[in-house]
Amino acid sequence: MPASSSRLLAPLITGTCLVLLAGCGGSSDSGDGGGANSPAAASAIPVVASTNVYGDLARRIGGGKVEVTSIISDPDQDPHSYEANTQNQLALSKAEVVIENGGGYDDFIDRMLNSGGASPDVINAVKVSGKTVPAGGELNEHVWYDFPTVAKLADRIATALAKADPADTATFTENAKDFERQLEPLERKESRIRSEHGGEAVAITEPVPLYMIEASGLKNATPEKFSEAVEEGDDVSPRTLQDTLALFTDKKVKALVYNEQTSGPQTEKVEQAARSAGIPVVPVTETLPKGKDYLGWMTANVDALAGALAK
């Protein structure tokens, strides 16, 4: 079924189905295009993003021409363990543009699309990035911490929106270019960190911020088995945990970059070890904190990293 016809199907949903959906919990949040029954929403392009990170990008590029639903928007929700629901399925069935991360991060999007009849324009951020699995390693799928990838993604979103609404192509293109210009100061901040602290070692709890760390010229000294276990939700072996804790007691790293959304007993031990050793802790998240947009969020992340290294 063509994506452009999906908006015509909404009135066909039965009242019984709507009652059922209203009872389903979820992590969705609507965009700025107005309420579902408003004139703005009726004419806007329905966009579904797997997380509010991509929802914010779509909103920024689409402006008032889009109605955005971000499936995961709770900063306390671990996206890796998110369980999609019927409400998410309904949103996807009406979407003309879908933005997913890909790389195994949000597979529930593809599963739900495959089980339905809609055929939206699906934007896969990992595919847009062009990044591939390194030899003997694993792909770091957290590509929204890589600013060149986010710039490419802005262009791809503008193209998808222009396909859905050709009359506003110039608006989408200019919004994307404006967003890309606002990314440039972030890349300059990373370059400044690289010139002042290039080669210095930091620790992480999992690979979420690695693209930012690498672009800043820093070395990740964390045992790979530690960050892999944390990301997969597995227990860290006693030996690996001991090796990780030694990074702080032996003052081998300048900072700990800590993912607040997947904390547990072992990562909390690591955080406490860093604080006890007087090593700065830089908290990061996988989704937008409440009240933040992408640019403000990433500016705070890069500034916090720079500040920690300067101590």
For the chain, domains (ranges, CATH) are 3-184 (3.40.50.1980), 198-310 (3.40.50.1980)
Q: Which long-range contacts (CB under 8 A, 24 or more apart) does 182-187 make?
A: 182/295, 183/147, 183/150, 183/151, 183/295, 185/299, 186/147, 186/295, 186/298, 186/299, 186/302, 187/147, 187/148, 187/215
Confidence at residue 153, expressed as pLDDT on a 0 to 100 scale:
98
The predicted-structure confidence for 225-254, as pLDDT tens digits, reads as follows 999 899 888 889 999 999 999 999 999 999
Spans of the chain, pLDDT less than 70: 1-42, 116
Q: Count of alpha carbons within 13 Å of 25, Cβ hemisphere only?
A: 3
The predicted-structure confidence for 192-225, as pLDDT tens digits, reads as follows 999 999 999 999 999 999 999 999 999 999 999 9
Confidence at residue 41, expressed as pLDDT on a 0 to 100 scale:
54
Q: What's the pTM?
A: 0.86
Among candidate residues 261, 255, 234, the one with its CA nearest the CA of residue 74: 261
Confidence at residue 135, expressed as pLDDT on a 0 to 100 scale:
81
